[in-house]
């Protein structure tokens, strides 16, 4: 059974950093694409980053140069390292995957993913 369990997140000041983790069970993290999404209050869910089974990555323009997605095959975990955080990064962040996808783009609709983490709040505020 596929499960995604998230950890990390919290409150950070502008310019600060956070790391989100997405621990995967049911398959190895290098088998399928895994994406990170976020949803701010009153806004639609949007793609932030994703990592393909071949290790290639994609980022939304709003986070390029500040966020880094990576995976640790030994821990079967995908990470989202977020640096130089801004108030507009405030949102609920969720990881997602689907067992039919080995590639991904951040512009893909979230509905194509079948498995989701529980979501974690990231708040950037002084």
Q: Furthest-apart CA pair in the chain: how many Å?
A: 41
The per-residue pLDDT for range 39-97, each reduced to its tens digit, is 999 999 999 999 999 999 999 999 999 999 999 999 999 999 999 999 999 999 999 99
Contact (Cβ atoms closer than 8 angstroms) between residue 101 and residue 108 = no
Res 39: pLDDT: 98
The set of long-range contacts for 43-52, using a CB threshold of 8 Å and a minimum separation of 24, is 43/91, 45/94, 45/110, 46/106, 47/105, 47/106, 47/107, 47/108, 47/110, 48/80, 48/93, 48/106, 49/80, 49/106, 50/104, 50/105, 50/106, 50/108, 51/78, 51/104, 52/102, 52/103, 52/104
Q: Write down the mean pLDDT value for the chain.
A: 96
């Amino acid at each position: 059974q596929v499960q995604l369990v998230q950890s990390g997140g919290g409150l950070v000041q502008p310019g600060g950093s956070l790391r989100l983790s997405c621990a995967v069970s049911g398959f190895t993290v290098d088998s399928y694409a895994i994406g990170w999404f976020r949803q701010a209050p009153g806004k639609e869910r949007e793609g932030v980053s994703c990592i393909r089974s071949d290790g290639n990555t994609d980022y939304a323009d709003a986070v390029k140069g500040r966020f880094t997605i990576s995976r640790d095959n030994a821990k079967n975990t995908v990470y989202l390292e977020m640096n130089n955080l801004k108030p507009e990064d405030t949102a609920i962040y969720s990881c997602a995957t689907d067992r039919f996808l080995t590639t991904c783009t951040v512009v893909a609709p979230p509905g194509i993913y079948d498995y989701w983490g529980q979501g974690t709040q990231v708040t950037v505020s002084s």
